[in-house]
Amino acid sequence: MANDTNEMFTTRSGRRVPIKCFTIPADVMVSVMRLQEDHEARGERLSITGIVLAMLDKGEYSIRAHWKAAEKTKAQKGFAKGAAALFGRDGKITDPAAMQALAIKFGLIKGLRVKSDEEESNIESDIESDGAPEPTDAELEALTAPVE
């Protein structure tokens, strides 16, 4: 049974009910219009009605969370492809600076510094040979004893 144009809806049981009209508040319409702009920036053309239906279906937060997760996954895949070439046969990083630059490029780290094997061995040798003699057991006990 087709619905006629006098704004009545026929249910599956045959009962006719009036179609309710909803008004979307202005603050919600701002979010709808902003989401439409964001869709257009991504190259997707949706009408205001399409955006409202998408928001009813998924919710604005879910749509944006999906986009964010997709971008992060894309960045991780790009990093993995580039990083594969920077590992040697022994499984060690051949060029730590290039690995760091690659991670920064894909936004996975922000300004962290990766130490090379040479720097780590220099730090260990500096710690081992700082020039001061090692304390004897008695001196170590005196240094670490609790103060009363």
Backbone phi, psi, residue 16, to 5°: -100, 130
Residue 63 near residue 55 (C-beta atoms within 8 A) = yes
Determine if the pTM surpasses 0.85.
no
Note the pLDDT tens digit of each residue in 104-144.
777 766 655 555 555 555 555 555 555 566 777 787 777 77
Dump pLDDT digits (tens) for 24-77: 899 989 999 999 999 999 898 889 999 898 888 887 788 888 888 888 888 888
Pairing of strands 8-10, 16-18: antiparallel
| Spatial CB neighbours of 7, under 8 Å, sequence gap ≥ 6 | 18, 19
For the chain, what is the largest distance between any 2 Cα atoms, rounded to a whole number of angstroms?
A: 100
